[in-house]
Chains A and B, each alone.
Chain A
Amino acid sequence: MSHTNMTIREAIASTIDAEMARDDSIIILGEDIVGGAGTAGGPEAIGGIWGTTGGLYGKYGAGRVLDTPISESAIVGAAAGAALAGKRPIAELMFADFIGVSLDQLWNQMAKFRYMFGGKTRCPAVVRMIYGAGMNAAAQHSQSAYAILTSMPGLKVVLPATPADAKGLLTEALRGDDPVMFFEHKALYGVKGDVPDGEYRLPFGQARQVRSGGDITIVTCGGMVRFCEKAADALAKDGIGVDLLDLRTTSPMDEEAILDSVESTGRLVVVDESPPRCSLAADISAIVAQKAFSSLKAPPLMVTPPHTPVPFARELERAWLPSHKDVEAAVRKTLAYNGSR
Chain B
Amino acid sequence: MKLRFVEEKFFNLLMVVSTVLIVASLVAILVTVFIKGLPALRLSMITQVPKGGFYLGKEGGILNAILGSLYLAGGATVLAIFISLPIVIYFNVYAPERSVFVNLCRFSLDVLWGVPSIVFGAFGFTIMLFFGLRASLLGGIIAVALLILPVMSRAMDEVVKMVPRGLLEASYSLGATKLETSVKVVVRQALPGILTAVLVAFGRGIGDAASVIFTAGFTDSIPISLMRPAATLPLAIFFQLGTPFPEVQERAYASALVLTFMILVISIAARLLTKSFTKHVIK
Q: Do A and B share a complex? A: no
- Chain B residues near A (Cβ < 8 Å): none
